[in-house]
Structure 1
Amino acid sequence: MRRPSARTLTALVAAALLGPLLSACGSDEPADLVIYSGRNENLVKPLIEKLEKHLGAEVEVRYGDSAELSAQLLEEGDTTEAGLFLSQDAGALGALSKEGRLAPLPQATLDKVAPAYRGSAGDWTGVSGRVRVLGYNPAQVPTPPSSVHDLVKPEWKGKIGFAPTNASFQAFVTGMRVLEGDDATRAWLKGLKANEPKAYDNNLKILEAVDKGEVPIGLINHYYWYEKAAETGAGKLKAKVHYLPAGDPGGLVNVAGAGVLKGADEKQAAYARKAVDFLLSTESQEYFAAETKEYPLVAGVKTAEGVPPLDSLQPPKIDLGRLDSLKQTLAMLQDTGLV
């Protein structure tokens, strides 16, 4: 067997010494915290960058639909690589909580958010809020209806815009099911179908249609109007926004939220808990208010200019974790011919 040259031996020794260092610096090194995020990358990326600096750790984010990520986490169980789930919707967090897949959060963390906007089991918390409202064109609708139930009356036939495949509309329908029962919700959906509503892909397209007079009224989330007003100037928008009073199901307040996954090793779980606290920090709460016009959920942080304070609203009282029954809602929407 031929013996290696002195140059070859030197190279082998150098490789042996440098190998561990190169491995540690390489892209194959696992992140300190893995986040499954149902929130849009364009929205949360600036916060994730700030989070990395705050933690002094590497954060890896895997983006997707909240309901699909929740189902994936249930399938992965204790084998998941994720330490934190950041959801667009409370229902996806409720599904994980129901199956015992979320770890308890410290009471000091939970106490930053009112009980109505966090999980009843103490294992997830909302980080920002959004309200269902009616967008309407005052030239066509001088006085908007006082209840979402009014929209099934004959006078609204052909005048309603909605987004039946959108997660926010489906969460609203789920909320109605929780509040009023399946029979009442199915009857409302049938009445809506009979009124021949116009379907759109998303809330923004509904708002644009209302603004153009294409439809007089539409079911949307509040922040779309305020974002558009900030972009174009409120005086240039023909569409207006109407908050529904007296606990009406059409005024549901839903939240985006976060929970720490069971099964994460203690190091990642510690980073995940710190990440939740960061999302509830004044810096993050002000980011949500300023950038997306969502509602900050921590006391003392103001809403964006023009957005009414959360405590001035009259949303229905509901356990947001019970918005987890999306499959039943989808089945009902299909049965009534709305999707």
Structure 2
Amino acid sequence: MSLRHRIGAGLTAATLVAVLAACSDSGSGDTTPDASNGEALTLYSGRSENLVGPLVEQLEGTLGFPIDVVYGGTPEITGKLVEEGAASPADVVFSQDAGALGLLDRSGLLEQLPASVTNQVPENYRAEDGTWVATSARARVLVYNDDKVQPQDLPSGIDGLLDPKWKGQVGFAPTNASFQSFVTGLRVSRGEDGAREWLEAFKANEPVAFEGNGPLMEGVDTGQVTLGLTNHYYWYGLADEKGADNLAVQLHFFDAGDPGALVNIAGAAVLATTDQREQAEQFVAALLSPESQTYFADETAEYPVVEGTETQTDLRPLSEIGTSDIELAELASLAETQALLQELEFI
């Protein structure tokens, strides 16, 4: 089995902002395995090992070459790639977030994918220049404890969370890439001043920060908080673990057009540093195969992005839920989002 390891937490939000400001003109790699022998493909994964590790192992057997995986949070992985620049040993990046992929593209670190790969997904789920492609989609949701509040009393948009009645009762995961993408979308839709105004009012309402979306879901389910901003698929993971009938936490979708109704993607791209482009493209294409798309739907409860994918998971169709008006390509300003969250002491 291939080497798999996690990067450390050394690339904090502050480090990432500094690195991104310097763009991609920096330096040398560090502890990452060298795949230049042409045998192993080096994958930098901002998706967690517990979510995608089994799929990577499955693809390793299907594709016939070993895959060395460096796991870490999407902001850390993104910062690491920008810091390493042309010296990076990475062949492929697997990101939790469209904004991070857009930032890497803007930094000139990605290669164009074949049209035979990108054309498998809708236009809004791939880069305009063909440098990255979505592998699955997820909806931002509000989760709530149905022992403490009824659906008819829930806010229809994020501004409703600013009501004093929710003071100290809204959970969020500020260091998670999905929350930071939501903030980026907020900046896009309302401008810098509008985003700052909302974040300041949100902070004044004393939201409760969690280390991740998993603990956040548990916090809502146990009644530690009444509401939580998260992604839809975390509910399915908890339901699979405890049984849906045993959960107090439930899903609520914001109205169409609201910044809280963002549908984001996970996606993959080939790095310009690769010396194994053929294998790298094969791996990205394999993430869009029927087997992989079914895996995302059935094992991680994400929305498949290739039409006709069969799934046993009872996902509410994207066509039936409200979505924001934000283009995924507009989520690339991650550094500015990080800077704003730091300034307001969210991270």
TM-score, reference length from structure 1:
0.86
User: How far apart are residue 190 of structure 1 and its match?
Assistant: 1.0
Secondary structure of the corresponding residue to residue 65 of structure 2: coil
Q: Which structure has the bigger radius of gyration?
A: 1
Which residue of 1 is the match for residue 242 of structure 2? 232
Greater helix proportion: 1
**Aligned counterpart for 1:74 among listed residues 68, 77, 82:** 82
User: How far apart are residue 50 of structure 1 and its match?
Assistant: 2.1
Distance 1:190 1:145 in 2: 19
User: How far apart are residue 155 of structure 1 and its match?
Assistant: 2.4
| Partner deviation per Cα, 1:160-189 (whole Å, 9 max, x = no partner) | 112222222112111111122111111111
Which residue of 1 is the match for residue 118 of structure 2? 110
Distance 2:36 2:191 in 1: 50
Which residue of 2 is the match for residue 39 of structure 1? 47
Secondary structure of the corresponding residue to residue 155 of structure 2: coil
Which residue of 2 is the match for residue 146 of structure 1? 156
Which residue of 2 is the match for residue 217 of structure 1? 227
Q: Is the deviation greater in 70-79 or in 89-98?
A: 70-79
Which residue of 2 is the match for residue 56 of structure 1? 64
**Aligned counterpart for 1:183 among listed residues 185, 193, 205:** 193
8 Å contact 2:135–2:267 — kept in the other structure?
yes
Read off the aligned partner of 1:180 and give its amino acid letter: R
Which residue of 1 is the match for residue 308 of structure 2? 300
User: How far apart are residue 304 of structure 1 and its match?
Assistant: 4.8
Which residue of 2 is the match for residue 5 of structure 1? none
Count of aligned pairs: 311
8 Å contact 1:97–1:121 — kept in the other structure?
no
TM-score, reference length from structure 2:
0.84
Distance 2:104 2:346 in 1: 28
| Shift in CA distance, 248/112, structure 1 to aligned 2, threshold 3 Å | same
Which residue of 2 is the match for residue 158 of structure 1? 168
Secondary structure of the corresponding residue to residue 269 of structure 2: strand
User: How far apart are residue 216 of structure 1 and its match?
Assistant: 1.5
Read off the aligned partner of 1:166 and give its amino acid letter: N
Which residue of 1 is the match for residue 29 of structure 2? none
Read off the aligned partner of 2:189 and give its amino acid letter: L
Q: Is the deviation greater in 200-209 or in 214-223?
A: 200-209
**Aligned counterpart for 2:137 among listed residues 119, 129, 149:** 129
Distance 2:82 2:337 in 1: 20
8 Å contact 1:78–1:264 — kept in the other structure?
no
Which residue of 1 is the match for residue 318 of structure 2? 310
Distance 2:53 2:39 in 1: 16
> RMSD value over aligned CA atoms?
2.0
Which residue of 2 is the match for residue 21 of structure 1? none
8 Å contact 2:96–2:177 — kept in the other structure?
no
| Shift in CA distance, 314/303, structure 1 to aligned 2, threshold 3 Å | farther
| Shift in CA distance, 205/79, structure 1 to aligned 2, threshold 3 Å | closer
Which residue of 2 is the match for residue 200 of structure 1? 210
Which residue of 1 is the match for residue 22 of structure 2? none
8 Å contact 1:101–1:262 — kept in the other structure?
yes
Which residue of 1 is the match for residue 101 of structure 2? 93
Distance 1:124 1:308 in 2: 26
The answer on 1:272 being equivalent to 2:280 is yes
User: How far apart are residue 30 of structure 1 and its match?
Assistant: 4.9
User: How far apart are residue 220 of structure 1 and its match?
Assistant: 1.3
Secondary structure of the corresponding residue to residue 254 of structure 2: coil
Distance 1:245 1:207 in 2: 21
Distance 2:248 2:134 in 1: 32
Structure 2, unmatched stretches of 5+, are 1-34
Structure 1, unmatched stretches of 5+, are 1-26
The answer on 1:322 being equivalent to 2:340 is no
Among all aligned residue pairs of Structure 1 and Structure 2, give the percentage whose two residues are the same amino acid. 48
| Shift in CA distance, 29/260, structure 1 to aligned 2, threshold 3 Å | closer
| Partner deviation per Cα, 1:278-302 (whole Å, 9 max, x = no partner) | 0000100111111111111111114
Secondary structure of the corresponding residue to residue 101 of structure 1: coil
8 Å contact 2:104–2:110 — kept in the other structure?
yes
| Shift in CA distance, 75/137, structure 1 to aligned 2, threshold 3 Å | closer
Which residue of 2 is the match for residue 11 of structure 1? none
User: How far apart are residue 311 of structure 1 and its match?
Assistant: 2.6
8 Å contact 1:124–1:259 — kept in the other structure?
yes
8 Å contact 2:103–2:334 — kept in the other structure?
no
| Shift in CA distance, 103/218, structure 1 to aligned 2, threshold 3 Å | same
Q: Is the deviation greater in 92-101 or in 294-303?
A: 294-303
Aligned runs of 1:252-263 on 2, under 5 Å?
A: 252-263=262-273
